[in-house]
Amino acid sequence: ETGVTQSPTHLIKTRGQQVTLRCSSQSGHNTVSWYQQALGQGPQFIFQYYREEENGRGNFPPRFSGLQFPNYSSELNVNALELDDSALYLCASSLAGQEETQYFGPGTRLLVL
């Protein structure tokens, strides 16, 4: 049990729609990262937030955006969904001062039809 929760667990959307995924981590976990994991692949870094500001971004287009809130919750928003966005979306948080050690939530499985 990592103390990181995500919602919803599963989601089905159609191409062109927008989706918001949510993550909540423990008090003191002030860094949150989002990853996309396609079937048979390792997780790919989307972006990271530290103290409510974006602190790094992977090779994902601007239609992937995020927010982090003061209560250690965060969101991943994806606009104009494409079929290739179907994946497991993982949120990972880390303790202040131990940012490299990340603990994953259970993930949200998104299917785009």
Residues within the interface to other proteins (CB under 8 A): 33, 35, 40-45, 48, 55-56, 58, 88, 90, 92, 99-107
If 0-12 CB within 10 Å is exposed, 13-18 middle and 19+ buried, where does residue 55 land?
Answer: middle
Q: How far is the CB of 13 from other proteins (least distance, A)?
A: 20
Closer by beta carbon to other proteins, 75 or else 99? 99
Closer by beta carbon to other proteins, 72 or else 107? 107
Among candidate residues 87, 89, 92, 22, the one with its CA nearest the CA of residue 56: 92
Encoding tokens for residue 102? 């990340």
- 3-state DSSP call for residue 7? strand
Closer by beta carbon to other proteins, 16 or else 61? 61
